[in-house]
Structure 1
Amino acid sequence: MSTTVEKTAQGAQAEEAEKQAAQAVLADKQTDETSEETQPKRRWEMPHLLWLMLIILAAATAAGYLIPAGEFQKNPDGSINPNDFRFLEDQSPVSPFGALMMLLTGAVNMAPIAFAVLSVGANVSVVLESKAFENLLDSAVYRLQDKSTPLLVSGLFCLMVYIGGFSGNDALIAIVPIGVLFARKLGLDGIVAVAVTTFAALIGFGTGPKHMAVSQMLIGLPPYSGFGMRMIIMNLFMVVGLAFVLLYVRRIQKDPTRSLMWKHGWRPHGAVGAHETAAENDNEAGTVAPTKLRLRSVIVLALFIAQFGVVVGYSLLVDSKQVIEVMFATNLVSAIIMGKAAGFKWNPLAETIARGISSMGFIAIIIGMAGSISALLAEAKILDTIVYTLTLPLRDVGLGWSAVLMVLLFAAINFIIPSTAAKAAIILPLLAPIATALGMHHQLALQAFQLGDGLTNILSPVLAWLVGSCVTAGVPYLTWVRWAAPKIGVFLVMAAALMLGLTALGWTGGVA
């Protein structure tokens, strides 16, 4: 749900690329010894998010009969006292029929957030269909193609981090072929092609401020609160990630045999690899097609960035209690203005906005279902019991280390459940009360969720965005893991240090 809002309007090119990637992954799993009559074993698949939510709803209903009811006592000001928990004598389970009846109640309660998500879909749909990001990327690669390799790598990497941070979704798999052409021109391997596109975009997606807006609303925080601090965090990870890539580039330029792709047939310009012909190698040195940055693209991107300033500024300077309303209005108005700036006619613009809204319709339903699950647990008087039980092991390690353990827990969950929307639906109803019970500010708890959930996407074997990128660049998945795993280890250490530091500073969403 920070995606969340993970599937915005995606182009046909991205869908086709993912389809080809899935087919390629399945083909790789078939061995040469498999006969034509033998069917390959069907891989286990994560249930669709709709079934997963219904399973969670059923489990929550059953839990009302099985888990002892309990509640935290409240302080005179109405806040809960995390140090005073009591079990209740009577159970208050919600019947299966009552649980179904609560679906609409949850949807109504979550309506402001759901409509805000719909407006985000409309906004991003216009930006994507304007092709402003593609034009910016193509023109940047063309202008920098004759510059030094470190400068070109740095420019494309940083650009992709920001694109991932503000408009990241599976559609960015369509950018990987540009990275492949880019790497070939510079005599670099497929690892670099994935690193300057998907690796960079996932760093932005996993640490940037934009994708946390919906999650913030779900746990009662103003959307885009902490925007400035998360920008700092994103840039910090960007610099470290870029250093990793530049070190690898330098290593294989000095000694091509040290490339992880050498054994797979990759050779730099001037040498023919085991799976290449001389003609193919010559083609790799081809130039990037001339591309001029259009004024319309500049205006669209400037408006896209400016709208975040409007929402954050309103929250800081006017009224932090009406940020959702401002977010909805700003997204809708800016979508119209950006569409006209991009040259859309009125009816095609309306159709683009409608497609963006429809792309988020299912996510809006899931938000409502998440609200009903949270309400059901509270109605059954077991939410506090669950929170009390989960927080017991964390009470004696201190807030800072509790936040670190939360990062590691969410990182582990990400390998099991790759969908950000699914994890948010499962975890966020518990995240706020867990943070409250630990005496941790909700902003810190959400930051732990973001870092744990986002960074390990770079290794997830079930994330179509990553696996499809590897297939497109000709990089075996295990070879990518060999390159990326040490970097993720460093990122997680950085995340732990950040959580300890933010806790020590008492961060509550400051620096905008």
Structure 2
Amino acid sequence: MKNFPNAFVIIISAVLLAWVLTYIIPQGSYQRITNEQTGITTVVNDSYQETEGNHLSAFEVMLSIPKGVAGRADVVVLILLLGGCFYVIEKTGALSQGLHKLVKILKGKEVVSLVIVSLLFTAAGVSIGMQEEVIAMMPVLLIFGKSMGFNTYTTIYMSYGSTVLGSSFSPSNPFGVIIAQQEAGLALLSGSGFRLIVLGIAFLLWVLYLIRYAKNNKVDKIEASGSHGKMDLNAKIILTLLCLTFVIVLYGLLMLDWGFMEMSATFFVLGIISGLLGKLGVNGTGEAYVNGFKEMIFAAMIIGLANSISMVLKEGMIIDSIVYGLFGPLKYLSASVSGVLMMVSHAILHFPIPSYSGQAILTMPILVPLSDLIGISRQTCVLAYQYGAIMGDLIVPTNGALMAILAVCGIPYNKWFRFAWKPLVLMLALGGISIVAAVYIGYN
């Protein structure tokens, strides 16, 4: 389809559609209780009631746009500063020198490079649920992909796609399985053995699919510009600092309870140091940062705009009604069928709720008693959530990270959907089989 709407038009259209749905879907809500000590709000099971609230006016819908951007300010700042940092490093020539060295090492070993990159990004998804951070890396990844003869879809698949895979099948994603287990009253990191086995199978299938696709869709290799010289000392120091920064950020996220702001500050400092080491000078470093901001501003805004969709649905008081309608009928089905349909329902629910951590907090208090009633263990209930909701990030147009990456890569959403639905269905099929197996073995 020619002239398919771009990411901006799709997001704004989704906001308007959400507004229309607030007039069609009955308003309703669950009761909620906030723990004064932890500040965590939980949903009271079987407390759903239809209500009659005020509908949003056209002006209130328009207000949701700046409110949505402001609500994701921490992520917007991260994308801008991380993008600026990578742009500065690129301007020093360190990235092109490093890429040239890497391509020389992997020359004739394209399959090996696919596996290594996919493994690294899968590990990032498993450990810290990485997604938004990939946005700023995409320009560099695209250069690497073209140098290896990969098309843009392969590059996105092995990077962003692999983070989604790792986040979904992870035994330890702090924003997914950990939150869900906490809400389900399970010991944190419990049941990891089964999850690791399924993760290994998922990664194997994922990589085999990627290798097959990459072999059938090769493009002419394009050598990175300015990459003919040897790596100088400053480039080696800058790239070493870049690797060290990722280690520091990973440690901060896992051990120091860091958030997006701490990550932003760390990469901002790295960009400044890299610019000075790369002999850009004070003014040159500042100008490079500004140019990096310009490259990332559209992607950053898409993240904020996507937040407006769920905001309209919440203020229109239909989010709880959607949850009630999706999961209520499951209690009349067998345990295995209910488990699989629970996963499918999570995937559908992820369209209006693009935050999978928010989806866990909303749904787990409702689904845990339902799971107990129909004979599904709480661990299996969490599996259905993480496989359905998080894998949905591969295609849901309300996910700001995905739309931002597509915007950076210049790929229309419809073309991405035609590519991504097959591996998504493959992974959901594996998830469904795993859920059925979990029910039969009494996974708990």
Maintained 8 Å contact 2:177/2:382: yes
- Does structure 1 retain, via aligned residues, the 8 Å contact 2:139–2:408? yes
- What are the ranges of 5 or more consecutive residues in structure 2 without an aligned counterpart? 36-40, 123-133, 168-172, 180-187, 219-226, 369-377, 397-405
The DSSP-based 3-state class of the residue aligned with 2:44 is strand
Aligned counterpart, 1:207: 162
Identity among equivalent pairs (%): 19
Residues 1:96 and 2:58 aligned together: yes
Shift of 1:171: 5.9
Residues 107-127 of structure 1: per-residue CA shift (max 9 Å, x gap):
333323322332222233234
Aligned to 1:46: 4
Please name the residue that 2:102 is paired with.
140
Q: Is the 8 A contact 2:343 2:389 kept in 1?
A: no
Q: Which runs of structure 2 are paired with 1:158-169 in the superposition (5 Å)?
A: 158-161=115-118, 168-169=137-138
In the superposition, relative to structure 1, how do residues 489 and 377 fare at CA in structure 2: closer, same or farther (>3 Å)? closer
TM-score normalised by L of structure 1:
0.55
Q: 1:79 aligns with which of 30, 42, 48?
A: 42
Shift of 1:99: 2.0
Higher mean displacement: 76-85 or 393-402: 393-402
Instruction: List aligned pairs for 1:27-38, cutoff 5 A.
Output: none
On the 8 A contact 1:126/1:335 being kept in 2, the answer is yes
Distance in 2 between residues matched to 1:332 and 1:498, nearest whole Å: 42
- C-alpha distance in 2 between matches for 1:219 and 1:111: 25
**1:385 offset after TM fit, Å?**
0.8
Report what 1:334 is aligned to.
270
Q: Secondary structure at the match of 1:79?
A: strand
In the TM superposition, residue 388 of structure 1 has moved relative to its aligned partner by 1.6
CA contact (8 A) 1:107 1:368 kept: yes
Structure 1 counterpart of 2:340:
401
Please state if 1:305 is matched with 2:274. Answer: no
SS at 1:84 equivalent: coil
Q: 2: distance between equivalents of 1:128 and 1:236?
A: 36
TM-score, normalised on structure 2? 0.62
| Displacement after TM superposition at 1:71 (Å) | 0.7
2:84 — aligned with what?
A: 122
Q: Tell me which of 322, 325, 331 is aligned to 2:261.
A: 325
Deviation digits for residues 49-97 of structure 1, max 9, x if unmatched? 3322322222222333332111112357451124331112x23211112
The one-letter code of the counterpart of 2:354 is: I
- Following superposition, the deviation at residue 465 of structure 1 comes to 9.5
Residues 1:129 and 1:44: Cα distance change in structure 2 (over 3 Å): same
In the alignment, is the contact (CA less than 8 A) between 2:71 and 2:307 conserved in 1? yes
| Structure 1 segment 227-238 matched on structure 2, within 5 A | none
Q: How does 1:380-419 map to 2 (within 5 A)?
A: 380-392=316-328, 401=340, 404-405=343-344
Q: CA 1:466–1:372 in 2, change beyond 3 Å: closer, same or farther?
A: closer
CA contact (8 A) 1:99 1:376 kept: yes
- Residue 148 of structure 2 corresponds to 179
Match of 1:438 in 2: 367
- Distance in 2, matches of 1:233 and 1:134, equals 37
SS of equivalent to 1:169: helix
Paired residue type of 2:138: N
Per the alignment, residue 125 of structure 2 pairs with: none
Deviation at 1:324, TM superposition (A): 2.7
Cross-structure match for 1:69 = 27
Which one has the largest radius of gyration? 1
| Unaligned stretches of 5+ residues in structure 1 | 1-42, 181-192, 250-258, 265-288, 411-422, 457-462, 469-476, 507-512
Is contact 1:407-1:449 (8 Å) kept? yes
Distance 2:5 2:213 in 1: 38
Structure-2 change in CA distance of 1:81 and 1:217 (3 Å): same
